[in-house]
Amino acid sequence: MDGQQRRDITVGSLVRIVLKEHQRSGQLTEGIVKDLLTKAAFHPHGIKVRLQSGQVGRVKEIIQKI
């Protein structure tokens, strides 16, 4: 599942995000969602989230939905 719809992502979900510095390479970072930062219901590049580790990026894959 991709991360373009805000309703698909909840706090505590396990996701893979792309960090700003990895947008060109597409390298993904895995983690658990702490905060949803995008207010819109949809974003074509993925909903922006903050992981529990403090990293911020756009969701590319939802691994486990809570």
CATH number of the domain encompassing residue 27: 2.30.30
The pTM score is 0.94
Q: Looking at 1-66, list the stretches that DSSP marks H as alpha helix, in order from N- to C-terminal side.
A: none
Domain of 49 in residue numbering reads as 6-64
| Six token digits for residue 45 | 């590049």
Predicted confidence band of residue 1 (pLDDT cuts 50, 70, 90): confident
Q: What is the pLDDT of residue 53?
A: 98
Please indicate, yes or no, if residue 14 is contained in any of the structural domains: yes
For the chain, what is the domain count?
A: 1
The set of residues, in sequence order, having a beta carbon less than 8 Å from that of 54 and lying 6+ positions away, is none
Please indicate, yes or no, if residue 58 is contained in any of the structural domains: yes
pLDDT tens per residue across span 3-61: 999 999 999 999 999 999 999 999 999 999 999 999 999 999 999 999 999 999 999 99
Please indicate, yes or no, if residue 25 is contained in any of the structural domains: yes
Place of tokens 């590049």: 45
Predicted confidence band of residue 64 (pLDDT cuts 50, 70, 90): very high
Residue 40 to residue 64: CA distance in whole angstroms: 22
Please indicate, yes or no, if residue 1 is contained in any of the structural domains: no
Please indicate, yes or no, if residue 20 is contained in any of the structural domains: yes
Please indicate, yes or no, if residue 15 is contained in any of the structural domains: yes
Q: What is the pLDDT of residue 66?
A: 84
